[in-house]
Structure 1
Amino acid sequence: MTVDLSEADTTVSRGTEPQPRQLIVTLFGLYARGERNWLSVASVVRMMDHIGVDGPSVRSSISRLKRRNVLLSARHDGVAGYSLSQSVLDVVNEGDSRIFGRRRATLDDNFLVLVFSVPESERDKRHALRVTLTKLGFGTVAPGVWIAPAHTEREVREALGRRGLSGYVEMFDGRHIAFGDLRSKIRQWWDLDELSLLYSDFITTHRPVLRRAREGQLSDQAAFTEYVPMLTTWRRLPYLDPGLPIALLPHGWNGVVAEDLFADLNEALGGPAREHALKLIHQ
């Protein structure tokens, strides 16, 4: 069965809260991997309840994730639970470096240029390619010509191979050497205005949380309640912004502020949130 990886990703829309199924995937990514890639149904319900999602919504979301082959039923010691499917687990493992180990290109780095051609009889593959490249943060130079920082090459190779799309693609390592202002081109190839608004929303929403954490106002439970939705919102942003050189971005690019804020939030909340989660998992 083909995994619908869109269920494992977070779609970022301004002014909307993360969906329950997205929060559940975050919980499995954060805490199931240290528990033999397994969480009991009861522990997921408890954790989601502390985030403010009721039991029926949790069970409905789990059923949807199971139908999409994101979660697989598994029993441990007679207890009902779920594991991430191997395909989704691979995506989550690979995502750690982009989400937690942010890399940003410089002007001295090359670009990864990708060209694809898909027969009309396989339009579904063309759609899958476009969706995949968009999720990986590629900009669109022209129909069938996409571009991203060269440091994403390994990740792109693995993603296309995993989805059976590599046979439709040619990849090149290149530089912009002439004609046109590259800063202006970047604005054409990526929707920087929308990305900046998403970063602004993240900063506005979560900067007060960091202040409260640093002032010692958050219990472990409160840290957990804040951390999981925050990470769920954040984990798509590094894919929409694949680490373009700062020199090619608008002056005062707020993505840098957002990245620093996320790093500080992760340091301040991650540990206490895990302590609380483990209590709920082993309750």
Structure 2
Amino acid sequence: MLFKKVVIAGVGLIGGSLGLALCKRNIVPQVVGVDPDQDNLELAVQLGAVHQGATLAEALTGADLFIIATPIGVSLGVLEMALPYLQQGTIVTDVGSVKGRLVERAEAMLPAGIHFIGGHPMAGLEVAGVSGAREDLFEGACYLLTPTEKTEPAALIRLRGLIECLGATPMELDYREHDEAVAVISHLPHLLSAALVNTVSYDAKEQLLLTLAAGGFRDTTRIAASNPLMWRDILLTNRSMVLAAINKFRVQLDKIEQSIEQFDPDILVDALTRAQNLRSTLPENRKYRLRDK
């Protein structure tokens, strides 16, 4: 058995989905949820996402894995509150999409014998709360881990093993490389999706455009439906990497704009073909999406 007691702080979509997988697959005998929203916590128990709910102090007694699944803006605060209750040998991880500040602060504040390993499952939906949680959310997904030179190898092996039990594939990255990568493939797409929707919202013919909007617009803008406050914290926390990603995108958009402005079909087709070819190589790794179709 990899872990005997897992505590999940923040039983929302990701925390709840982790709990559902751990409980329903009998991976861990005791999963305890902590959440400031008592109604959400009670629902998590009803849905089987956690075996029981408790306060942070109560929950951490005897825990050998502590998962911080709160919004990224409060993750450090939750870790600081948990610090007096963590025991020797406990592994602490998170699920946030920005790692730099959290990894550095966590390693600085945790005493020897308590192991922090940054984590980020590359999975999600445009819903919030445990009501949208899914046991199979991580099936086939890449689950990023950001160990450092201070990480204990045995702790990393145990966490990797748990991730594999979820049906996900663990992958290790330097936390700085992680933040740079997700700025391009996760954070930038959200900004572009929001900008595209806002382009329509500021148009004088907004209602006509929305009436005519078909699958392409809906697919491209799907992630704009995500929680704005959550994304505010993500984008500002990863500010420098996001700004760099925006600049990279601007270069590509300028090239396409110039090809249209100069009526240069060769450059335009080259850009579209390059995108088509690369897009066709992306694997379909979301098993639950295939089942939903």
Comparing both structures, which one devotes a greater share of its residues to helix?
A: 1
Q: Which has the larger radius of gyration?
A: 2
Check whether TM > 0.5: no
TM-score (norm 2): 0.28
